Structure 1
């Protein structure tokens, strides 16, 4: 039982360190390329701000898109229009001068989008979603959570140190 708790504690620490490294990497990308969505091995995390793709995903979900070149009808793509992003389903793929263009539509919308999307505008193809991810993100981005997490980690390390010290003292005591 003690070994299982130790393994779980070590895994939690490793996951926390990896998460911090990942967040640091994303933060560096955000600072060095402020006009681009941060990408980790070609995957990008976005939040859903409208209901245009309901029921596939809802407002407040996170979606993961992957940079891909081969886009087909029926794929859900995220693309840039000026300074905003749109995630809609490809209804039609056509070519002009050998370059692909896409006509898109939100699943909850009645009509196709008014514009065509050039391949250069595409940020990625939808891969999966994290339902309600925005709520979790808001919770974890609150400063009090980070204070609580750091305090909890410090408490775990302190308790482990005292337990180890206590065991060493028991082993080294003259009564044993």
Structure 2
């Protein structure tokens, strides 16, 4: 059986080009981040809406994020203390009641998960944070809503966090402080 020089070149070219194309797909990718805030965002005891700070984390693993508690965040521990070597980077956004915020972020090659945390006055016990597969975010971007006491995914389906119900609450019922 003989091979022509032309078919050998095609095989060689395919052996170089295909891996390059595949590696380009898995590399860093710039994504759009869009957050929408409810008019009644993060209401105080008198019902006045207040802004919410949201942190977006790029993570190597979901384990530390799944174990993280709001009490630990509010106790003054650093993100690095809480997330350890799973934390790749973080970004902070401020959500204003009734407004939306748009930003962009490069999702790194080593990022496997994207975590979103809302620092609400009276957070819902399950939906003060969301966790996403990074590949889903790379293909669709990150769009979420911030309501009175919880975050809600819009574009990508979030990954369930231990103790989190399948849906965010219909309304926030905790007592206002």
Indicate whether the TM-score tops 0.5: no
User: Larger % of helix: which?
Assistant: 1
> Max radius of gyration: which structure?
1
